[in-house]
Each structure stands twice: as C-alpha cells, then as structure tokens.
Amino acid sequence: MLPPFKIFAGTKSEYMAKEICEDLGVELGKMNIQHFADGEFEVSFEESIRGCEVYLVQSTFPNCDNLMELLLMIDAAKRASAASIIAVMPYFGWARQDRKDKPRVSIAAKLVADLLSTAGVNRVICMDLHADQIQGFFNVPVDHLYASSVFIPYIESLHLDNMVIATPDVGGAKRANNYAKYFDVPLVLCHKQRAKANVVASMTVIGDVKDKNVILIDDMVDTAGTITKAADLMMSEGAKSVRALCSHAIMSDPASQRVDDCSVVEMIFTNSIPYKGNCKKCTILSVAHLFADTIRRVHENQSISSQYLI
C-alpha cells in the first residue's frame, strides 16, 4: 500500500501547483500563510498530513521570502508527521553562485541545499539547474528534469531549414551541444567577456551563421543583456533569423524592453517563473505536465528516465 500524497503550494508558485493538480486529478492542499506587521510570516497546514507523502511546490526566485516560505513549509510538514517531504522547485534560485570564482565569496547554491536538508526535505525535484553539478550539493535524491521535453517539440513545430543551435556563452555549451546532436545540426558558440555582473563588455561568434536560422539555448534570462547582444551579433553576421529558448524567465528590468528592441524573432520560456511582462516576442510554454508526470512516477516508484529526450 502506497501512502497517500498531497500537493501544497507557496504563494508565488500557486499557479504552477494548480496546473499540476489539474493534470493529476487531485485537489490542491489547504495551507495558510499568516503575515505579521513587521514582514514576518507563519506557515500552517489546514488539513492533516500525518503519514502522507507531501509535495511542496515553490520556486525560489527573488525575493528571499519565497525561499523562506519553502523552508517553513518543510519544517511545518516535518512537525506534522508527514511520511516524506518532497520539494518541487521548477526554478532553483541562487544557482549562479555554485563555486568560488574569486576570493572571499559565498557559494550560495550549496548553502541553499544545506538549508533545505536541515529543514527536513527528503527529495528535491527541479528543472534545468544553472550547473548540473549542483545536484551533488544535496545529500538527498535529486530528480533533475530538463525543459527539452517541451522545447524540442516546439522547435520541431517551427519546421526551420538551415538550422543551427547556438549558445550565448561558453558556459552553456554542453546544454546547447545536446540539442545540436539531437537535431544533427551545427553548434555555434558565443564568447563573451563581462565588465561586471549583468554587464557584457564584448562578444564574438565562433562558427558560421550566415543564411542560417539560429536557435539560441540558455537556462535563464535575467536582464537579457547577453542574449539580446548575441542575437544582434548573429544577425550582423548574416543570420536569417534568431530565436531564443530559455528555461527560466527571470526578466529583470529592462529585459522586456531589450527583447522588444533586439533582433530576436521570438523568446520562448517555460512557466517555471511567472512572467508578468508585456513583451510581445515572448512565448510561454507550460511544464506543469512534466512535473505532474514526475510526481506520479516518484509516488508509484517508477522510473522517470523515459522523460529525458536529451
């Protein structure tokens, strides 16, 4: 007999949890978050979860309240005698800080992993981490999903000829190379140099994009400085068109305006983060079914490897 499972959502990820519940044919669990005048808040479950497998849906994009909410949800579930606690994190925030790239800096991704483990999480389900090795920061199982399962069918629906896959920086070469192998098309790299965080000083294209339909692949777009500069550069090199597929739409100002003003034809995101901008070039694809199917398989102790297209 499998234990019953219930799904709950943090404040900013309720939209995703509702889609997941609809796909699974279950009701979203009842939870209350009470806010105090000074900004402190308290999490409480409004139904029994004793002996249940509890799935907590919450992306940890800014601000820090989303991370703190998830930690309190985990702690409350543990103290309410849940059989197991699974954090469903479509977007794992703080992931860009995954190593010491200069002296005397924090490794925030490791710290967040430790916080989740200390709070009492038993498993993590996430998607398109900034760096795959972040899975190793956890001492609990991590199911790392890929947005390729929704991006690849979308690319195929475009029926593009003379297609090349590109990456806006060398750090994303492995991710882009997987797409290039799948479609059996050339890979183009962009080499960038940063003046400081969120500011690109210079960029060069490595590869041939002349008369090609370019698909830029990246895991996240923050201020959109890198990806728009890459799109404009490739068009100047003779590209026929440039589209961008990015898993997480952070889209901090002035990202939407930059995308509207640049040469990119279309910017495709997943709904791992709720995009509330008004950029006409942005297309949002839902990954709720991907997470719903993973939850179903995890609960029934089935393999999830069939979900990985690349």
Positions marked active-site: 192
Between CA 126 and CA 103 the distance in angstroms is 29
DSSP calls for 148-210: HHHHHHHHHHH--SSEEEEESSGGGHHHHHHHHHHHT--EEEEEEEEEETTEEEEEEEES--T
DSSP calls for 28-60: PPPEEEEEPTTS-EEEEESS--TT-EEEEE---
201 touches 193 (CB < 8 A):
yes
58 touches 70 (CB < 8 A):
yes
Between CA 293 and CA 119 the distance in angstroms is 26
Torsion of CA 239, 259, 284, 310, to 10 degrees: 40
Burial of residue 286 (CB within 10 Å: 0-12, 13-18, 19+) is middle
